[in-house]
Amino acid sequence: KGAAKPATAAAAKDEKKVHQPAPGVVAATPTAVAAAKKAGIDVMSLFPGSGSLGRVTADDVKLATGEKKAEKPKRPVAPGAVPLDLPDGLTPFSTMQRAVSKNMELTLTVPIFRVSREIYMDKFDALYQAVKPKGVSVSALLAKAVALAVEKYPVMNSSYDASGGTLFKEDINVAMAVAIDGGLITPTLRNANECTITEIGESWRDLVDKAKRNALSPEEYNTGTIAISNLGMFGVSQFDAILPPGMGTILAVGGTQTVVVPDDSAVLGLRKAKRMTVTVTCDHRNIYGADAALFLKELADIMENRVHVLLL
C-alpha cells in the first residue's frame, strides 16, 4: 500500500490539466474561434482542446475539418535501425511526369487487344552469353529480333490514321521503355533491322546514358514506330503494356523462368527449359488478331530456332 501512493501521484502529475470554463466563456484562441466560424463548427464542441488548460486551438479546428491529419504515434524502432519515414501528401508532377500522364490518358480512347505467347529462350540465352562480352545486352538482342519479325509483318509497324486508313512506316524504329529518376522515357533504336547487333548494342548504351543524364534529343525518344517494355529483370513473369500514342504495337516482355517440359530424347522423357511470356498490345483499328498472332509466331521462331539471323 505504501508504494501505491507515489505512483498515483506521478500519474496525476503527468495528466494534462483541464480548466472548466465558466458559463458563457469561450475557452478557445481567437484564431480557433475565427476558423471554427468559417467552417460552421461550434468551437466549444471541440473542448477540451490541445491548448493550455484545454483551450481549443486552430490546429484542433483543422483536425476537425480534415485540413490537418492527426499525428500517428511513433512506431518503436529496434536499436540501431533507421526510423521509417514514409512520404505523405501531394507531390506535384515534374514536366516529364506530366507528359507521361497525358500520353497515357490519350491512349484510353484507342480500341486495343492483347495477345500472349510463350517463347523458349535456351538458344537465345546461349547467344546472349556469347555476345555479352562484346557489350551486347538483352535489350539490344530483343530489339533486333522484333525488328526482323516486323520485316515479315510490317503492319505491326503501322499506326491508325485519322483520315481512315493505315499509315505504314518504312523505317523500323524500336522504342525501348526506360525507367529513370522522376519518370519514364523511350529511347529509340532507329532502323534496328538494318543495324548489326554490335551497332545496336553501342547505340543502346549511348541512349541509356543520355536518358539518365536527361540529354536525349527529341529525335532520340519520339521517333519510335514500335515499342518494347521489358520488366523481366524485376522478376515479373507476365504483364500488359499501355499502347503509346502514335504507335500500333507495344510488346511487353516478362522474365525468363526455368520449367520442366516433355522431351522424348531425355531421361524420363523430361528436361528443363527456359521460357518467357511476351504480350503484344495492338490498335485494333489497323491491326487484327491474326496479324499479332503471326508476328509473335515469327518472333518465337527467330528466338527459338533461328537466333543466327540476329548476328547477320
Give the residue numbers annotated as catalytic, written as ranges.
Answer: 284
Closest Cα to residue 192, out of 145, 158, 135? 145
Backbone angles phi, psi at 74, to 5 degrees: -70, 135
Q: How far apart are CA 145 and CA 147, in angstroms?
A: 5
Rounded (5°) CA angle 292-297-302: 125
Q: Which helix (H) or strand (E) holds 251?
A: strand 249-253
The grid coordinates of residue 149 equal: 519479325
CA distance 57 to 105: 43
Distance between CA 59 and CA 48 in Å, rounded? 13
Q: Specify whether the CB–CB gap between 283 and 113 falls below 8 A.
A: no
Pick from 137, 115, 154: which is nearest to 297 by CA?
Answer: 115
Q: Any idea what the Cα angle at residue 145 is, between residues 142 and 150, rounded to 5°?
A: 125
Q: CA–CA separation, 228 vs 175, rounded Å?
A: 6
- Asked if residue 141 lies in contact with residue 124, where contact means CB atoms within 8 angstroms, the answer is yes
Residue 278's DSSP bridge partners are 117, 253
Q: CB-based contacts of 155: which residues, under 8 Å, 6+ apart?
A: 166, 168, 248, 286, 287, 291
For residue 174, which of 137, 146, 205, 194 has the smallest C-alpha distance? 146
Residue 40 backbone phi and psi in degrees, to 5: 75, 35
Secondary structure letter of residue 68 according to DSSP = S
